[in-house]
Structure 1
Amino acid sequence: MSNMCMKANMKRLDGVKVTAKFAIGHGAFADIYPGIWTIDAISGLNVDVGTVHIYIAPPPHSRTLPRIKVVIKVFRIAQIKENTPELQQKHRLEKECGLWADLRHPNVLAFFGLLDDPAIPFTGLVSPRCTSGDLHAFFSDPATAFVERLPIVKGIAEGLTYMHEKNVVHGDLTMRNVLIEVIDGKFTPLISDFGRSRILDIAGYTTPIGEIHLAEDDDRTTKAFTKPADVWCFGMAMLETLSGKEPFFYLSEYKAAQAVATDREIPDQNCYPALPHGNAYWKIMGKCWHWEPSHREEIGNLLQDLNTLSE
């Protein structure tokens, strides 16, 4: 394990039990397993959640130890010729956990530590299990479709502003990479999945990706890892959150990709009647979608614009 991973937050966890034989979720490079973390009865649990330090103490005079629902992310072996599969898997793990462990914000998914267990094929990354799922599933559920959407957008902007202030780009900000959890009685968005993220200006820290929907020039791999690219994606996530419709939903997948990469189109306002043309939302999203990346607004300024709005 590299020095990047040997930090206080990178501890191996005890008391975590994998609760399913097979993964319950699958990503491009990893599988997700459910688990339960039983907290030590003597020491309790010290956790940084966002900027708040929480101590979860064992219940007094109780034989039942505190238990937290968690998920364990396990990278699949990548068959890449120049390296052994094990080294590739270890490389992905080190990059994601090294970056993720340094991020602490109320709108960024917390990272608990690492797990080595015979029930999983490789070292896993442990984080809280968000019972409300990702943002796409959350607003697709009739039971939660009524939830106010502007605070969710603001929360995503808060988390992304924090990341950009730390010179970190996400590289894959989509509705499916924003989770929802009830925190202090409020539905709270949590930016997750840092496997494609990058710390700017650190050579060798970029994880290659196989497909990019935003093509700013011919060098697609590097150009995805910029703050303006994150801002573009934020605008798309904002549109889908507020309207309930995916960007370019009225086009086929092929034509949608062509519209962005070749024709330099942005979503057609006429296809989103729930958001009128003069709506302030469109003005903010328009600042995200300028084709020239340097002309896009910084996320911190967009957050200030959002804070002047109310639903």
Structure 2
Amino acid sequence: MGTLDGRVAIVTGAGRGIGASISRMFAQQGALLVLNDLGSGPDGTGGDAGPAQDIAKEINDLGGRAVSDGGDVADTATGRRLVELALEHYGRLDVVVNVAGILRDRMIFNLPEEDWDAVIRVHLRGHFATIKPAVAHWREQRNPGGHYRIINFTSDSALQGSPGQPNYAAAKMGIIGLTASLANALARYGVTANAIAPGAATRLTATVPDDKKIADDPGREQDMSPDNIAPLVTYLAGTESDWLSGRTLGAAGYEVKLWNNPEVVETVTSDGPWDLGDLADKLTKSFRPKADGLHPSIFMGQLPK
């Protein structure tokens, strides 16, 4: 028996890369699948229903069960349709995995507004489009023990500040906020929500110039296959992960990380309205030692002391 036997999952971005790896492992573990992929280029242009159809056929040929959809996930009608497909074909829905994404990388001073809008749309609205109809259905079930799962995809670009991806980083940090909100709002309905920041060699990462990438730990050699992301997602999709919600996890190679939620690391106070000089003195003495230690190789190393 598999860990996902009989569980019904929607996976977006399922036709290639991380989404395809997740779909294959879900099927191996007994999940019944609705697979969505627009089949566009890495920048979101074009479309081809083939990638999603190919993964669905591969799974069905091996004895699994999968249906495909080639719609634009940022279209709210697509999100509704994916939920309807799950209910029509399998009679239930247990898991939503939002992997679909695009890149349109530019430094902020060269970024066209249409590239900002396109990336925000696919990532943030694309998550909203699947999540809203899914949780509306789960709320109607009135089943606090339902083991329902939302698994979103964020990025180290948000967590560490990729310099050439302001639109992507903004969208991915928005997904972290969305995930925290979902976890707080939906626990009463038996829903957990978590975000994953993956590290893997995919079509998208291949488009990023080396000088714009967030560097790995020095000397670390890993297998950066998308297949290494799938086990964590599979665990989160199962019924044993009820204890984990509202968190961000990293997965790359043979490592899985639990990221800390934002927290206050230092506070300064005044007895009354701030005097500017007093504030400046306290910030420099109290905050600067802490701030200098936060991602020093990424932030402070690039700024004049």
In the superposition, the TM-score normalised over structure 1's length comes to 0.26
Bigger fraction of residues in helix = 2
In the superposition, the TM-score normalised over structure 2's length comes to 0.26
